[in-house]
Amino acid sequence: MQHRYLGRSGLKVSAIAYGNWITHGSQVDDDTATAAVHEALDQGITTFDTADVYAATRAEAVMGAALADQRRESLEICTKVYWPTGSGPNDRGLSRKHIQESCEASLRRLRTDHIDLYQAHRYDHETPLEETMVAFADLVRSGKVLYIGVSEWDAEQITAAAGLAAELRIPFISNQPQYSLLWRGVQPAGGPPPAPAGAGPSLWPAPAPGGPPRKYRPGEPVPEGSRATDDHGGAGFVQRLLRDEVLEAVQAMKPLVDAAGITMAQYAVAWVLRNPDVGAAIVGASRPEQLTENVVAAEITLDDDLVAAVDAVLEPVIERDPRKTVSPPTRP
C-alpha cells in the first residue's frame, strides 16, 4: 500500500483509507465489521475514518474495539464533530462546549488517548469561527488531537479557518469533501480542485459507483439490505444517485471499464487517486472481500483515453456545482 502526505503536512496516510459510515453499528454486525477492519490492516491500510454521528456514535465504538489490539503508533485515526449526538441544545454544532465534550467521548469510544485528525463535519453558522478554532487549538495543545481538518466546508470558509489556524499556530491540514466520478463540485471544470490558504484538499471520499451495476438497475426496486435501505443516514445519500438517468449512464460505462480488465469499484477509486491533490480515497466495506478488491486500485494507472471515454458517457449526470457544498444554516 502506498502512502501519501496529507495536505501540506508531514503526516502520511494510506492511499486508501477505511471508512465505516453506513456500515459499522448499522448494516453490518460487529464480528463482520471487525473482520473487515482486520482485512484492511492486512492489506496495508493504516488510516481509519469515522465520525461521532455515524450510527448514533456506535460506529466509533465498533472501530475502537476492532483496533484495540493494534500498535497505536502505526495507525492514523480520524473522526469528526458537528452533527447531533444527543438531545440537548449543546449536543451539536461547533461550540467550545460541544467540541470539548465530543472529543472526550470520541476518545473513550475509540479506546485511544489521542485523535490523529479531528475534523469539523460541517460549518457552524451559529458559532463564531474564532471560538471553534480556539477550541480546536486547545485540544491540539493538550495532545488529545494532533491535526485538524474540515469536511464539506466551502472555499471561503476554509480560507478564513486557515488564516486563524496560522495565527494560532495549529496544523490545519485537510479538507474532506464529497468527490467522486459523479460528484465533482469541488473541482473546477478543466482544472484541479482548489487548495485554499494552506489547507490542501486531502482526504476525499470515493463513493464508488461500482455497486450500481451489480445491485441497482434502472426501473428496478432497491434491493433489501443494500446501503440504499439503511435508516441510519446512508439511505438518503445513496438514493440521490439512484435516478434512472444516473443508473443508465453507469451501466453504459461498464463495457468500457470491463474492457480495461478492472472492476467498476476499482475504476472509481483509481479515478479519485489519479488526482495528485488527493491524500487518500476513503472506501467502506460490508464484507472483508470487498476491501481485497478495492485496494488493488491504489496500484492502477488509468489510461487517459479510457478516462476521457468514461467521462463522455457520464457527463450528463456529473454534478459540478460548487454551490452544493453547503452546511445547514442553523444547527440540526
Residues tagged active-site: 54
Buried-exposed string 293-306: b where 16+ CB fall within 10 A, e elsewhere: bbbbbbebebeeeb
CA 234 centroid distance within chain: 13
Residue environment code for 161-181, b if the CB has 16+ CB neighbours within 10 A, otherwise e: bbbbbeebebbbbbbbbbbbb
CA dist., res. 282 & res. 48, Å (int): 9
Distant-in-sequence, close-in-space partners of 244: CB < 8 Å, separation ≥ 6 = 218, 219
Q: Which long-range contacts (CB under 8 A, 24 or more apart) does 241-247 make?
A: 241/182, 241/207, 241/209, 241/212, 242/212, 242/216, 243/317, 244/218, 244/219, 245/316, 245/317, 246/182, 246/212, 246/317, 247/212, 247/216, 247/217, 247/218
Q: Which residues contact 330 (CB under 8 A, 6 or more apart)?
A: 125, 126
DSSP for residue 47: E
3-state SS class at 314: helix
Q: How many C-beta neighbours within 10 Å does residue 276 have? A: 7
Q: Do residues 97 and 90 make contact, with C-beta atoms less than 8 angstroms apart? A: yes
Backbone angles phi, psi at 2, to 5 degrees: -75, 155
**Residue of 267, 265, 271 whose CA lies nearest to 284:** 265
Residues linked to residue 183 through DSSP beta bridges, in sequence order:
319
CB 254 within 8 A of CB 264: yes
Which residue's entry shows cell 434512472? 244
